[in-house]
Amino acid sequence: MAHDQNISTFYRAAQNRDFARNFSFRVEEIKDRGQPLLDANDLVYVTTASLPGRTISVTQQPYMGLDFQIPGAAKYEGSSGYEITFRADGSNILRSLFERWTFLTFDDATSTGTYRIYDTSIIKLVQLDQDLNPLPEKYKLHGVFPVSVGSLGYDMTGNGDPITLTVSLAYQFWTKE
């Protein structure tokens, strides 16, 4: 039996499910080795981030002229450079915080750092419904560490627009809570 797809079914589905909106998302928590890295006052500065991707690798196995597709291990798209963009705060607190974290990870002055992967270093992400209430499932990125702290672009001829700071973090895998 064919499904009737028309404007009425679209309208009913849209009323029941609504649509995901590009602002219906929050970075809820960032921890380094179990300690909160940012608090709620810092996280309101987040302007863009994304839900992480996941891909199952495929191996082809030929048999009698056909290529059979065999599922393999999972790969986490963007896990080597997960970007979060912040509004840069006027006191430079966010940039300094991420700079310190990069030096804790590797300090080129002493060639030392915390080379370990800490499962207690996490990012927690949440989607929001149309009333801005959190959806029940949250995404948790495990084994997070900083990769880069972006530059801040100033312009003496500018009109005073806020500037942004992009931070790139790596993670190992993600789970849903």
H helices of 23-141, where?
40-43, 93-105
Say if residues 69 and 58 touch (Cβ distance below 8 Å). Answer: yes
pLDDT of 143-172, one tens digit each?
999 999 999 999 999 999 999 999 999 999
pLDDT of 78-88, one tens digit each?
999 999 999 99
Q: What is the mean pLDDT of residues 111-128?
A: 90
> Which percentage of the chain shows pLDDT scores above 70?
99
Distance of CA 170 to the CA centre of its chain: 10
pLDDT of 89 higher than 60 = yes
